Structure 1
Amino acid sequence: MIRIVTRARLNSLEQQAEDARARAWEMEAAANTAADSHAHTARSLTTQLDTVQHAADVARAEARRLEVALGSAESGLTAARETLAKQAQQIKALQGDLDTVLGAVVLLNYGRLVSVHPTGEAARRHAESLGCPVTGWGPGSGRPASEVEWRTVLLSRFAVEDGGGAG
């Protein structure tokens, strides 16, 4: 079958082909622009994903470091609590010792420390065993300890007022 095409028809077909090529180029340009835009968006999203993953890795590492630090702090706290409990027991024991010592007296001979006793009576008995006379014990008349042959003084006052008996 042969078809006869007129010049007007041929011109029309050529114009339609030219229009189709122009639309194809426009569509190709739009497709390229869209592809470039999508590629740029994909690269941007990939970069953002990498940044977020890096931040997550850093956060996980920091969380692990903080877990270790917390464990160490908890161990230190436990040790400190144990030490505190031991020190509280020691303080109680020392308070008991202090209560005992507060009533203690020292026996002085001319201001020099001879002995320490739980009571003044015990100190006098010891002084008597060393040849001190049974009578004549008194407050010392305000004289320095170095001028009194035998004297008893509370241990707490001896340490503070007499400077440890160096008098």
Structure 2
Amino acid sequence: QTVRDDQLDRMAELSMIPSIFVAHTYYWGDIHLKNLGRVRGSRISPARSAFDRGLKVNFHQDPLVVQPKMLHTVWCAVNRITRNGVEIGPEQRVSVFEALQAVTVNGAYAYFEEDRKGTLEEGKLADMVILSDNPMAVEPGKICDICVLETIKEGVVRYTKQQADSNGQI
């Protein structure tokens, strides 16, 4: 959470793959600011600094702590706003494209599965979601409002919002 620039430099030298729980900025950002002060607290989950060093950053969640909502994670990385609406380390924001890379391509890379997952290509597993809006086209603050309409795993539809709505599982 509070990795320093010199540590990121060393990670780059070693070709490490940082996995960042960037949703900390939202869920615990206010506490980090209070406990660590503005300067150090604003550096939690320093995704921009990691990307700038050429690291293959991926974003993770801890489903026992927060609900598994990757679009919220993307929103957190792009906006860096706490629960109380405070900007936290805006210099550590990443682009929508980089955030999407972190949860797709770079996630597959971290698990040595980039030959089977992470991008839509012939010969790879057809794991994907259909979204209500294009995250690259909506206002950054609206990314967390995008709905997953359908989930496809290995070419098989596993979830549709229409089915979930009719079953009361919104």
Q: TM-score range by the shorter chain?
A: under 0.3
